Chains A and B, each alone.
Chain A
Amino acid sequence: MNYSCTNTLRVPNTSLRSLVVVLVLIVSFGLIGPATATQRQEASQHQAINEVIQRYIEGGKQGKSAIMKPAFHEQATMYFVASGNIHGGSIQGLFDAIDKAGPSPSLIGKIAAIDVNETTATVRIELYNWGGARYTDQMSLLKTNGAWKIISKVYHQTK
């Protein structure tokens, strides 16, 4: 048997040349190609922060504050505004509410923005269907001995 691949491999010369030119341009302008040290560092910071936030969301889903506690620093606070008034205080208020509310399996949390600045960061999270409610969280985090901890949570409930 004499198989020939000639037909399947044949690429018109002009198309091939165009492809090579495009690839060279992409690489030379850095659109693809190896990430810089800064980009890699930023990606790993985002990943570490993402893991902390996922722990918080998972605690909400399961209705178990013990799951989310490691995401927060012990001095963390939570505040919100209702009818113009400020409410909240120690993060313990969140843990108590979680344990009281119980599981919320339909909860979906989406990280909308992460802004990292070496030892500090802010994260905006969109939360859907948390016991039927819709929230936006704005968290502040600090990097303690390599581990990110939430120090401040403010949130808005969309009516």
Chain B
Amino acid sequence: MSEVKVIKNVIQGYIDGGVSGQSEQMKSAFHEKATMHYIADGEIQGGPIQGLFDAVDSIGAAADLTGKFADINVNETTATVRLELYNWSGARYTDQLSLLKIHGEWKIISKVYHQH
């Protein structure tokens, strides 16, 4: 399987967790030290990825959520992915994810996002 395909599979786990509204399903896509940040009113918000897991569990299922891979840039042990997310409980997001290849497994270490 190509590296891009492997990365897509990892990220699909994240999207599937968003669809089901169950953070358990997406946890394996992230490294335990991963962070999530975004801008609100010109200030950086966010912190540990647990904030995402809590939000997903509290929002619940988002059956109409779809994710589209806009760009994947792989560089041996690091990668960035731009992910367009549509209809996550009615909202439209763009994620920019950084990944690391740890013991052969790709893990998201950083998520930044913009809500449209």
- Residues of A at the B interface (CB closer than 8 Å) are 73, 75, 77, 79-81, 84-86, 89, 113, 115, 117-122, 124, 136, 138, 140-146, 149, 151-152, 154-156, 158
Contact = CB atoms under 8 A, between A and B. Distances in A.
Interface of B: 31, 33, 35, 37-39, 42-44, 47, 71, 73, 75-80, 82, 94, 96, 98-104, 107, 109-110, 112-114, 116
Contacts of A85: 102-103
A149 B37 CA distance: 12
For the residues of A in contact with B, the DSSP-based class is strand
B38 A136 contact: no
Contacts of B31: 86
Contacts, number: 115
A138 B99 CA distance: 10
A77 B44 contact: no
B62 to A, nearest CB: 21
B39 to A, nearest CB: 4
B80 A144 contact: no
Contact of A156 (B37, B43, B76, B109): B76
Closest CB pairs A-B (n = 6): A152-B110, A145-B42, A119-B39, A81-B77, A84-B103, A154-B78
Contacts of A141: 112
